[in-house]
A and B are shown apart, each in its own frame.
Chain A
Amino acid sequence: MDETTVADMANGDGSRIKWKFLDRIVSRQGPFADPDNPIGEQALQMLSSVKVLVIGAGGLGCEILKNLALSGFTDIHVIDMDTIDVSNLNRQFLFRQADVGKHKAEVAARFVESRVRGVKITPYCGKIQDKDEDYYMQFAFVVCGLDSIEARRWINATLVGMVDEENPDSLKPLIDGGTEGFKGQSKVILPTMTSCIECQLDLHAPRAAVPLCTLATIPRQPQHCIEWAHIIAWDEERKDITLDNDDPEHITWLYQKALKRAEDFDIPGVTYSMTQGVVKNIIPAIASTNAIIAASCCNEAFKFATGSNPSLAYPPPDANNYMTYSGDDSIYTYTFTHEKKDDCPVCGNLAKTMEIDPSWTLQEFVESFAERPEAQLKKPSIRSEAKTLYMQSIASLEEQTRPNLAKKLSELVSDGEEIAVSDPALQISFKYKLVFKS
């Protein structure tokens, strides 16, 4: 399609006027784009037919939803389990005072829908873990704006696990953004082809922690007094009560303990809100950092959908896939290739399908690993998600799981279940999906 046709389309349909600049981008060949990529109407059609999943409707999520809708995506789904807190209102601009207590995903979806004509946003108020592979399979790609590493690791492992080499549509790119104060990063993961979240685990700065003995003996900062109350005093005095970070009585108790300790050591500055921040590990969020990172994620999404220019991580596996941004010491940004790790427990080895005779004993199954050409394992240990089938390396576990050896496989695993096999000789575990021979 050439430029005139796009212009005609805009004339024919008044509502396209507002997309004038978007249309201009997709109606021309991007300077770095593959010449085979479609332009014009076909690219536009892709943009509006693609189903995108956004995970997180918080600081980053609000920006991402707004950006995607304003970039021409029309079928957007969003997942978030949280409800709106009054402290979110300074930067999570899709929410208003009257929304406090309501689900973020729901309110964000309705707000963007009301402002951007033609976009459909489907919210799900719950955990990403509630959904299974069938659900994730419906999306073209996933954009993540999360503050939890655990949730990132879960969606990453799920998307990697979904890749089926026989079915190209099972590969779901993951665009992941993250911020902490003035710092942020955005990256694109092509599951199994480029470095995954698990490969990158050591790039995530661990939570800065102060030595326990400092907390116990020589606190120097108000935060040290709060951590002491949180980690040591609570266990000493209220061992039988499970600490609930959202219970104001619990926070008040910690606050008063911390305040008393701070007075003993002559440390000023302990406040209730600081106590809340330390205990809940609230990461300072800066609206503009969120905006920068979300913008970068959404540009990648747009390029994915339209093909107007190559995206981060393209072409794999050697392309740059990771952008880091730092605004705390002037401005610094750097884009590089984070390499896939051969020994990554998630993407290093994909689960292979293995046909087994369910009437085999576990003993026979374990012995078969000595003969498998890819394995040749002398001391394999085997687990499923729910069960330790046999662990050889640890004496106590070996003894406890030895009775399983005489059992039939059908008593230990179900048809289609995944197992992990480890061995001292292996750098990473093998994963197998066991399929029963009928």
Chain B
Amino acid sequence: MVYGTCGLESLCGPGQHQNQRCSGILGTLLTLSQKQQQQQAENAAGAAGKKKKVTAAQLRVQKDLSELSLGSTMKTDFPNPDDILNFTLTIDPDEGMYKGGSFSFSFAINQNFPHDPPKVKCKEKIYHPNIDLEGNVCLNILREDWKPVLNLNAVIVGLQFLFLEPNASDPLNKEAAEDLKTNREGFKRNVRSAMGGGGVRGETFQRVLK
């Protein structure tokens, strides 16, 4: 962009800039008020072609999705492919205590993404120290540590990690966390039985084995 003496040639326009009275932004303003009527008439004529533009949140999600690396243990499902802000992610851990299970998470992203984090919930009732019976997930980057520079891939990696390394010090299911802390072998047995649709401490879980 070329700036003239007023510093804002692009604002006042090259033609006007060569006028004897170049007046920077103000020149634009003055011209504008003179042009207003003419412009409104033109606008009325062109009003038929109004289209919604892709929103900033959609653009970010589209970018995040095109950079996603799902590997062989994860897949997505979009109930409505035209709505990329709402989808399900399924994780099939291939190692760790939750190996053999299949866990799905609903992602709900609002128009204020990435200022707001995505809302993520586990869709099955599972036995996990960091996921409660309603599906709430305790993952720092989904809440207190979310930043706009983080992307969907970071969230997905975080979720994957929860199945490799369940964390007893951030309990959302207190009983499961207690079991993990005090009796790791017993915890493993509980995980197997819960994944098979059995009960643990009087609570029945959903069968998630593949």
Contacts and interface: CB of A to CB of B under 8 A. Distances in A.
Interface in B108-146: 111-112, 114-115, 130, 132, 134, 136-138, 140, 143-144, 146
A351 to B, nearest CB: 8
Interface of A: 34, 36-38, 43, 45-46, 49-51, 132-134, 137-138, 140-141, 149-150, 153, 157, 161, 165, 168-169, 171, 173, 190, 193, 198, 201-202, 204, 206, 208-213, 216-217, 231-232, 235-236, 304-307, 311, 314-316, 345-346, 351, 379, 381, 383-388, 391-397, 400-401, 414-420, 422-424, 428-429, 431
A210 to B, nearest CB: 6
B7 A36 contact: no
B39 A169 contact: yes
A210 B56 contact: no
Contact of A137 (B39, B130, B144): B39
Contacts of A419: 54
Given A138-B40, A314-B7, A393 B65 contact: yes
A385 B58 contact: yes
A330 to B, nearest CB: 28
B82 A388 contact: yes
B22 interface: yes
B53 A161 contact: yes
B138 A211 contact: yes
B161 to A, nearest CB: 16
A423 to B, nearest CB: 7
Given A51-B33, A383-B58, A422-B66, A211 B6 contact: no
Interface stretch (B10-18, B98-106, B192-200): B10-18
Given A383-B84, A385-B52, A201 B3 contact: no
8 contacts: A34-B6, A132-B50, A211-B138, A213-B130, A381-B62, A386-B52, A395-B70, A423-B66
A140 to B, nearest CB: 4
Given A212-B136, A232-B134, A217 B171 contact: yes
Interface centre among A211, A391, A431 (most CB of B within 10 A): A211
Given A383-B84, A424-B67, A140 B8 contact: no
Nearest to B60: A345
Given A193-B1, A400-B81, A315 B7 contact: yes
Contacts of B60: 345
B181 interface: no
Contact of B62 (A190, A201, A422): A422
Contact of B77 (A202, A204, A387, A396): A396
A168 B13 contact: yes
B182 interface: no
B82 A394 contact: no
Contact of A36 (B5, B130, B143, B149): B5
A324 to B, nearest CB: 18
Contact of B59 (A202, A307, A345, A417): A345
Interface residues of B, number: 76
Interface in B53-89: 53-56, 58-60, 62-63, 65-68, 70, 75-78, 81-82, 84
Interface centre among B66, B112, B146 (most CB of A within 10 A): B66
A116 B50 CA distance: 38
B66 A424 contact: yes
A210 B88 CA distance: 26
B54 A198 contact: no
A392 to B, nearest CB: 8
A292 B171 CA distance: 45
B75 A418 contact: no
Contacts of B50: 132-133
B62 A383 contact: yes
Among all A-B residue pairs, the 5 with the closest Cβ atoms: A315-B7, A168-B13, A400-B81, A134-B43, A307-B26
B138 A37 contact: no
A49 B144 contact: no
Given A393-B67, A418-B54, A209 B30 contact: no
B62 A198 contact: no
A230 to B, nearest CB: 12
A149 B82 contact: no
Nearest to B173: A216
A168 B12 contact: yes
Given A173-B25, A216-B132, A315 B65 contact: no
Contacts of A391: 62, 65-66, 81, 84
Given A210-B143, A213-B170, A388-B84, 13 more contacts: A193-B1, A202-B148, A211-B144, A213-B130, A232-B132, A381-B65, A383-B84, A391-B65, A392-B66, A393-B68, A395-B75, A396-B76, A397-B84
